[in-house]
Structure 1
Amino acid sequence: MYDYETERLASFADVLAGELPDTWTSFYHSSEDKDDLVELSNRVWDLDLVAESLSERPLQQAAVLSRPDGAQLVVLDRHDERDGFLIAAVAPRSLPDEAYRGVHEPNGIAVADDPFLSAEQVAGDLLARYDTALAQVRHNVMGGIQPSQPDRVVLTWQQDGSVAAAPVGETAGAVLVAHGFIQDPQTGIYRLSADDTRAQARALREIGPQLDALGIGTALQHPAARTAPTAAMPPAPAASRNPTTRAR
């Protein structure tokens, strides 16, 4: 039996994804994806129109739009006898509550049944607010990690002995990964564990020259209470840059 509502939402989301700035893909969740829909409902980043809709009726279907950097939007049916859809931001997975402290929810919007007009509304309103909120949350997660610049990777010692860096471009990121760093897909933070301190020190020594050959400088940032191992590379000092103060 032909399901018009399913086709309508899925088709709208597909076209919308192609009209948004940058690269987005669309994935449709039917009523059979119960666990996915529940998890998605819990991650909808909204305290206004979309939250009210979800409180009145659980998700029966949805389309998720995803960007390569981890950003996600969800497209939902409206249940107030009006045409069109609701579009909301989706919060990153598995982040501590502290990361959201002081960050305003990028509440969703209602749009007409026109993906081209809706793409303009999303790009000019919701997406701008979502990107701002995402940047704030990711900054909060970074904590004491000194931010890198496009032409310099700043590696920061952590209290557990690991080394972390963010944000890092694709070219520098590939070098870090090749030397044992693991990137968190939600925050973009690259971390090199201290499980093997000799391997860690060797990786730090080798990273500097390789990045330098690519025109990217390196700096190693030490927290006040920690002295770096003598085997670590001797980078140039990082430029002074204070992280944004967090409050809620």
Structure 2
Amino acid sequence: MHHHVDRERLASFADVLAGELPDTWASDYHSPKHKDDLAELTERIWDLDLVAESLAQHPLRHAAVLTRQDGAQLAILDRYDERDGFLIAAVAPRSLPDEAYSGVPEPNGIALSDDPFLSAELVAGDLLARYDAALAQARYNAAATVHPSQPDRIVLTWQSDGSLAAIQVSDTASGVLTRNGFVHDEQTGIYRLMGNDTFEQARAVREAGRQLSAQGIDVALQHPSGRIAPTAAPPTAPPAPATVRSTTARGR
């Protein structure tokens, strides 16, 4: 068992594993001093079984994150039992709203030995297959919650976590949205503006609305009820975001 932080052991394992998995993966090590990154990673672990149980008993002190070219991520954690090796878990994309995960089975993580070559075969044949299926369903769900825009009208749809989302926007509108803080998810085509800071969110929406109007593009808000409220300019302040439940390891 390894109860101390062993950077070299974890980082080296992750580097080799990344090179053995199908497709192209990059490995990034998060040391104990990266407390904010580790806290966010804990929230995004997509697991309700083995890894969630481990995190409940052993808070994350360091980790390695593998990132695929399409943005999919896997987290490698220390394993606290009588065997050497690690735990590996899928990471939920931050770009998708919470409701996108409704009804999607968690691609629960698995335990690995300390042999990265054998582990790569296990991950590719088990966890990755379940993760890719869950990602595809979540991305489909996310797109279904966003009202499509039109060439001369951008529709911003409220999400349950207080964010605003748009989809099917023109190249001109895309540039305006991204310059004003909207994050584009290439897999779904969704542009999303978080609502953690409602004052900043309102400012970004107002500025985006002004720039879009100058290009002859109107802005409309899609309320949770499904009724579209046409607006030449966005509201001065969006409603407060819904409270999001926080757990030790987020179950989707």
TM range (shorter): 0.5 to 0.7
Deviation at 1:199, TM superposition (A): 4.7
Q: Is the 8 A contact 1:70 1:185 kept in 2?
A: no
Identity of counterpart residues, as a percentage?
61
Bigger radius of gyration, 1 or 2? 1
Point out 4+ residue stretches in structure 1 off by more than 3 angstroms.
154-157, 162-166, 175-183, 185-188, 193-202, 223-227
Q: Who is 1:43 aligned against? A: 44
Q: Cα gap change, 1:111/1:177 in structure 2, threshold over 3 Å: closer, same or farther?
A: farther
SS of 1:158's partner is strand
Describe the shift of the 1:18–1:200 C-alpha distance in structure 2 as closer, same or farther (beyond 3 A).
Answer: farther
Q: How many angstroms apart in 1 are the aligned matches of 2:115 and 2:104?
A: 31
Match of 2:60, SS state, is: coil
Query: What CA RMSD, in Å, does the superposition of the two structures yield over aligned residues?
Result: 3.8
Number of matched residues? 197
Conserved? CA contact 1:156–1:163, under 8 Å: no
Over residues 20-50 of structure 1, what are the superposed CA-to-partner deviations in whole Å (9 max), with x where a residue is unaligned?
1221111111122222212211111100000
For residues 89-142 of structure 1, what are the alpha-carbon distances to aligned partners after superposition, in whole Å with 9 as ceiling and x for unaligned? 011226433121111111001111111111121111111111121122222222
| Cα distance change of structure 1 residues 27 and 48 upon mapping to structure 2, 3 Å threshold | same
What whole-Å deviation, never above 9, does each CA across 1:69-95 have from its counterpart, x for those lacking one? Answer: 221100011101211111000112264
Give the equivalent residue in structure 2 for 1:32: 33
* Aligned equivalents of 1:59, 1:106: Cα separation in 2: 19
Cα distance in 2 for residues equivalent to 1:99 and 1:163: 12
User: Could you tell me how far apart the structure 2 residues matched to 1:102 and 1:110 are?
Assistant: 25
Cα distance 1:165–1:185, how it changes in 2: closer, same or farther (>3 A)?
A: closer
Mapped contact 1:155–1:165 kept (Cα < 8 A): no
Whole-angstrom distance in 2 between the partners of 1:73 and 1:98: 21
**Structure 1: gaps spanning 5 or more residues:** 147-153, 203-222, 228-247
- The whole-number CA distance in structure 2 between the counterparts of 1:53 and 1:163 is 34
Go from structure 1 to structure 2 and tell me whether the alpha carbon gap of 1:129 and 1:225 turns closer, same or farther (over 3 Å shift): same
Higher RCO, 1 or 2 (CA under 8 Å, sep at least 6)?
2
1:158 Cα deviation after fit: 2.4
Tell me what 1:184 maps to. Answer: 183
Structure 2 length as normaliser, TM-score?
Answer: 0.63
TM-score by length of 1: 0.64
Provide the rounded CA distance (Å) in 1 between the counterparts of 2:136 and 2:152: 19
- The Cα shift of 1:226 comes to 9.4
